[in-house]
């Protein structure tokens, strides 16, 4: 009997994934990863902030334990707190300092869930590794999940073919409603548990309050990108992302406004007006840390510039230092430095790069 070690998150997806594996005849072992210290939330001076009792991590562990009891499978627990801090959270903070919008889930998958987790699973004698991601594999190739609303291949696009070796995604061929239905039919504890949203280590806490524990707020001017007039004050560039419309900090103006740029050196937040403002659009971007899962490196394919964003037809020019220029056949809205540009060929996820610079008409956008 082949042994599978599955990452148990305490959610319905990993619960159903574990059930399906056991149903298929595997010997299933659960492994819960503790990546964040939920009892102390230290600031950058090492001072504890105890006001984070909302963090659901311990409840997640209790739910995972209960599910494993219901499925009659063992559950192990492993701490990756230091490794998560070093490889994911520190990266997150450094990107914010640069005025970018990082995606910590990509780094968590790359360095924790499909690296350290796999090593721990091998210690338990795993023949295969499994997770509750909505994705599929064909050999060492990564495919989109069947459910277009839940497809998570975007977050796996910095993995290598070797990391995907012997990995199973039991629910990748199901939709979320189908997963919920299975959970209800087997009366599992997590059947009606709400999906987690947002950044995992922040949870339900207020984003700006959480970030202020680690990065000192540095207020500055909000400038109309077109008129160059000061129209408000921002609370710190790390609190905003490109395309953001709500809670920007402009009062007394009824026009729809959007964040369209940042200048870290001048500590300026640029804002434009109107949904179709030209300042929100681009036709090319420079990506770095280019990573391919696929054995082929195409010059034409499609790309997503953010999770659940639309697919754009693109042409790719490969450059030195693991970078590439990605040109879109049409305009793309709010392409954001720090986010992933994930490449696809039909259902196959080819790989990705991290967006570094944004261009329009062959010129780098001055306000980004």
Return the CATH number at 180. 3.40.50.620
Tokens of 16: 């159903």
106 and 253 both lie in a single domain: no
**DSSP summary character for residue 265:** T
Q: What is the pLDDT of residue 47?
A: 44
Tokens of 54: 């909302």
Q: Which residue, 244, 273, 302, sits at the end of a domain? A: 273
Asked whether residue 162 is assigned to any structural domain, the reply reads yes
> Which residue ranges in the chain fall short of pLDDT 50?
40, 42-54
Asked whether residue 211 is assigned to any structural domain, the reply reads no
Catalytic residue among 108, 301, 341, 349: 108
28 and 149 both lie in a single domain: yes
48 and 181 both lie in a single domain: yes
Distance CA 132, CA 118 (A): 15
- Residue of 181, 179, 171 whose CA lies nearest to 146: 171
Distance CA 12, CA 16 (A): 6
- Residue of 89, 107, 203, 106 whose CA lies nearest to 152: 106
Looking up tokens 């599910």 gives: 67
Query: CATH number, domain at 257?
Result: 2.30.30.280
Asked whether residue 169 is assigned to any structural domain, the reply reads yes
Asked whether residue 159 is assigned to any structural domain, the reply reads yes
- 75: three-class secondary structure by DSSP: strand
| Total H helices, total E strands in the chain | 8, 18
Asked whether residue 49 is assigned to any structural domain, the reply reads yes
261 and 297 both lie in a single domain: no
42 and 111 both lie in a single domain: yes
49 and 105 both lie in a single domain: yes
Q: What is the pLDDT of residue 206?
A: 80
What are residue 270's DSSP bridge partners? 223, 261
Q: Which residue, 161, 185, 209, sits at the end of a domain? A: 185
Residue 301 catalytic?
A: no
- Decide: pTM greater than 0.85: yes
Residue 108 catalytic?
A: yes
What are residue 123's DSSP bridge partners? none
Distance CA 367, CA 148 (A): 33
19 and 166 both lie in a single domain: yes
Tens-digit pLDDT profile for residues 292-344: 999 888 999 999 999 999 999 999 999 999 999 999 988 999 999 999 999 99
Query: CATH number, domain at 336?
Result: 2.40.30.10
What is the phi/psi pair of residue 103, to 5°?
Answer: -120, 90
Q: Which residue, 255, 273, 291, sits at the end of a domain? A: 273
Residues 6+ away with beta carbon under 8 Å from 258: 243, 244, 245, 248, 271, 272, 273, 275, 277, 280, 334
Tokens of 142: 């990564």
**DSSP summary character for residue 247:** S
Tens-digit pLDDT profile for residues 38-88: 664 544 444 444 444 445 678 899 999 999 999 999 999 999 999 999 999
80 and 157 both lie in a single domain: yes
- 278: three-class secondary structure by DSSP: helix
Q: What is the pLDDT of residue 58?
A: 84
Looking up tokens 């984003």 gives: 207
13 and 143 both lie in a single domain: yes
226 and 251 both lie in a single domain: yes
105 and 148 both lie in a single domain: yes
Asked whether residue 201 is assigned to any structural domain, the reply reads no
Tokens of 165: 């070796």
Distance CA 114, CA 291 (A): 15
Asked whether residue 203 is assigned to any structural domain, the reply reads no
Asked whether residue 208 is assigned to any structural domain, the reply reads no
Catalytic residue among 68, 200, 285, 341: 200
- Residue of 205, 25, 28, 228 whose CA lies nearest to 130: 28
Range of the domain at 333: 281-364
Distance CA 159, CA 111 (A): 9
- For 66, the enclosing helix (H) or strand (E) is helix 57-71
Q: What is the pLDDT of residue 39?
A: 60
Distance CA 67, CA 11 (A): 9
Q: What is the pLDDT of residue 41?
A: 53
9 and 156 both lie in a single domain: yes
Q: Provide the domain count of the chain.
A: 3
């Amino acid at each position: 009997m082949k042994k599978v070690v599955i990452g148990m998150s305490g959610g319905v997806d990993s619960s159903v994934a574990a059930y399906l594996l056991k149903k298929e005849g595997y010997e299933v072992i659960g492994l819960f990863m503790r990546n964040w210290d939920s009892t102390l939330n230290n600031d950058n001076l090492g001072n504890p902030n105890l006001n984070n009792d909302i963090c659901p991590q311990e409840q997640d562990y209790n739910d995972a334990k209960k599910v494993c009891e219901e499925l009659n499978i063992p559950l192990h627990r492993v701490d990756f707190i230091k490794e998560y801090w070093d490889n994911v959270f520190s990266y997150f903070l450094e990107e914010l300092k640069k005025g970018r919008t990082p995606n910590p889930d990509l780094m968590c998958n790359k360095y924790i869930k499909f690296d350290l987790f796999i090593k721990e699973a091998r210690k338990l004698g795993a023949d295969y590794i499994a997770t509750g991601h909505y994705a599929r594999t064909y050999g060492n190739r990564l495919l989109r999940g069947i459910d277009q609303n839940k497809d998570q291949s975007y977050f796996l696009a910095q993995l290598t073919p070797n990391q995907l070796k012997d990995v199973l995604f039991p629910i990748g061929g199901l939709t979320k409603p189908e997963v919920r239905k299975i959970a209800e039919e087997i009366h599992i504890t997590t059947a009606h548990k709400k999906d987690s949203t947002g950044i995992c280590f922040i949870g339900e806490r207020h984003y700006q309050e959480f970030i202020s524990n680690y990065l000192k707020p540095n207020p500055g001017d909000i400038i109309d990108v077109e008129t160059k007039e000061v129209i408000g004050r921002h609370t710190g560039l790390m609190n905003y992302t490109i395309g953001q419309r709500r809670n920007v900090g402009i009062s007394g103006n009824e026009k729809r406004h959007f964040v369209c740029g940042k200048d870290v050196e001048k500590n300026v937040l640029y804002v434009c007006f109107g949904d179709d403002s030209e300042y929100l659009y681009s036709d090319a971007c420079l990506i770095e840390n280019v990573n391919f899962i696929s054995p082929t490196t195409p010059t034409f394919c499609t790309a997503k510039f953010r999770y659940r964003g639309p697919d754009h037809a693109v042409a790719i020019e490969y450059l030195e230092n693991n970078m590439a220029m990605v040109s879109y056949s049409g305009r793309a809205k709010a392409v954001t430095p720090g986010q992933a540009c994930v490449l696809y060929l039909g259902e196959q996820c080819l790989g990705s790069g991290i967006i570094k610079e944004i261009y329009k008409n062959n010129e780098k956008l001055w306000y980004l």
